[in-house]
Amino acid sequence: MNRSIRVLLADDEPVILRGLKKLISWDTLGLDIVGEAKDGIELKAMIDTCTPDLVISDISMPGFSGIDIIRDIHESGRPVKVVFISAYQEFSYARQAVQYGALDYIVKPVNTGQLEQVVGRAAAVIRQESEEERNKEMLKSYERKNHSITVEELLELLTDGNKGAASTLARMGNIAITRYASVCVLEMDEYSGQASRWEERERKLVEFALSNIIKETVEAGGNGYVFRKGERFAVLLQHEQEMEPERMMLDLHHKINSYLKLQVSIGIGRPVSGMEEAGESYRSALKALKTRYFTGLNRVLREAGNQETTVAVSEWAAAQAALTEALKSLDKEQVPVLAARLLETVRLLSGNRRNQAVTHVYNSILQLEQELAGFGVDAGLVDPEDLPLLEKLEDAPTFDALKQQFEDVLKRLADQLACKLNGKEMPQLLQVKAFVEEHYAENITLESMAALVYMNPYYFSSFFKKHTGQNFKNYVTQTRMDHALRLLLQTDLMVYEIAERVGYNNARHFSDMFKKHFGKLPQEYKQSVKQ
């Protein structure tokens, strides 16, 4: 709906002013009389205070003439339209005023039809120009918005590896000539798998505040652009000094921690020599961000240099075996030391890859449970009242949190072992297990083991099952199968040779036992692992 047009009337004769107001229905025409001036001086002052759209004034008044008034309006740049009223003898004067920019003129005496016609035309012109002005502003606003969207889209393309986007940005005037370009990525640490502490509306407010502080910091430095890459914020910086991005990101990180009380990690990409190489810097920034799993959250990070892993899988296996033996012996001093050694081996083997670290730790726990199965312990791989252990390991936000999960499992195993192996029975059970581990390829019988620990066979059978949860014969078979599997996967021995080495004289019987334990015949199992 159009707003009312504001009208200012001026004449040095009061009777003319009263007549103008009564001649036509101003409201019906959509006009609102906002003031009346009785001379040129008052008219000039009221143009400033009443901000009219239309002035209807006598052309010849004391103080300032109509020409003076219209010249002043023109010079000040006000969008005010003027209609002059003139006597017949001032007709040439009125024509001159039109040449100076007056919209129209009315010759006295003024009648209703004449006034309605002139005022109607004036109102139409004002409304048309007002609509055109609004359309121009809307178009400018749209162009500004569209330009902003275009720049952001181009920056996304650029960091995705589209080098042609750099040329488009240059044509748009968005590239400075600088020595370096770098991309940095910022992410709230809450996004790393933790449950959000915010509702959706609160999250949007937090992200809005975060976006503002990033833009303020980057814009203050100059030659920087902020845009979104999924859940992350990305910053493209053009700079002269190589360390400039790190200084800016450290400042930004401090502000976010101080003002917003948020924990964020920022990855700084390697500086590149041209904007078209921004994709390379972006990938470097992502790699830097990923290292937060091992270095810790809420930091400014650079990509670590290429470090060759000097740890072999055999070192992990040795650390695993040492920890297993310490647990079996309930060596409270050595268990934490050997656990730390194993975890450091895992970290080096993982090569800054989170998934690899989780896999190695999970495999260590699986192997510990298998090695200690004879003692009847449970590592808690599946808990009906909690998440499966693997999911908990995957949800750990940092390597330190993963280490804590591993240490919790070790404590659980140690506590269970302490309950199972108490008093003088523990050394006896360990003696039996050590003998089986060393002589599994020989003919081991229940009677011979009972004699080893000075028990009668019936008591020994009950004793062994009580502490391990399985009968002795099954335990020996399990030990033989574990060694057979190792030989199958780590050597080129034939099946009959493996059978002999683990205590089976009949290769067919060995293969049947292997299938019973692992679901496949030895050669089938080996082939499936190679695929």
Cα dist from 261 to 163, 198, 296, 357, whole Å: 37, 14, 17, 30
Alpha-carbon gap, residue 161 to 159, rounded angstroms: 5
Residue 56 has a pLDDT of 92
pLDDT at 312 over 80: no
Alpha-carbon gap, residue 119 to 122, rounded angstroms: 5
- Region of 51 please: left (phi>0), alpha (psi -120 to 50) or beta: left
Q: Which residues of 352-381 are buried (b: 16+ CB within 10 A; e: fewer)?
A: bebeebbbbbbebbebbbebbbbbbbebbe
Lowest mean pLDDT among 41-45, 211-215, 426-430, 507-511: 426-430
DSSP reduced 3-state for 103: coil
Lowest mean pLDDT among 103-117, 265-279, 482-496: 103-117
pLDDT at 178 over 90: no
| Chain mean position to CA 255 | 18
Alpha-carbon gap, residue 236 to 182, rounded angstroms: 6
State phi, psi for 337 to the nearest 5 degrees: -65, -45
* Averaged pLDDT for residues 40-69: 90
pLDDT at 149 over 70: no
* Averaged pLDDT for residues 78-100: 73
Q: Residue 155 corresponds to which amino acid?
A: L
pLDDT at 430 over 50: yes
Cβ-contact 493, 487 below 8 angstroms: yes
Confidence of residue 531 (pLDDT cuts 50, 70, 90): low
Confidence of residue 413 (pLDDT cuts 50, 70, 90): confident
pLDDT tens profile 278-306: 999 999 999 999 889 998 899 999 987 65
* Averaged pLDDT for residues 197-215: 82
